[in-house]
């Protein structure tokens, strides 16, 4: 297996994970201390919107 094939395979695995769990916060979101909580809303078109609530300083 070439490096290109390996990259494609891992990329597709990540894409599949994203499709399976679109609601998991990314690492940057969980590590960001300013973001207290995330909330999910669905707009009229059925799109999921992630709302970040920031801590008050």
Euclidean distance between CA atoms 41 and 56, whole angstroms: 22
If we measure between CA atoms, which residue out of 50, 16, 10, 57 comes closest to residue 30? 50
Q: For residue 52, what are the β-bridge partners?
A: 38
Q: Count Cβ atoms below 10 Å from residue 35 Cβ, excluding itself.
A: 15
pLDDT at 47 over 60: yes
CA distances from 10 to 16, 21, 38 (A): 10, 16, 28
Query: Residues 25-49: what's their mean pLDDT?
Result: 67
Look at 34 and 41; give whichever has higher pLDDT: 41
pLDDT of res. 53: 73
Euclidean distance between CA atoms 7 and 45, whole angstroms: 34
């Amino acid at each position: 297996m070439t490096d290109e094939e390996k990259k494609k395979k891992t990329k597709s695995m990540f894409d599949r994970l994203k499709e399976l769990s679109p609601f998991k916060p990314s690492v940057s979101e969980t590590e960001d201390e300013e973001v207290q909580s995330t909330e999910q809303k669905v707009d009229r078109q059925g799109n999921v919107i992630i709302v970040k609530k920031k801590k008050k300083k």
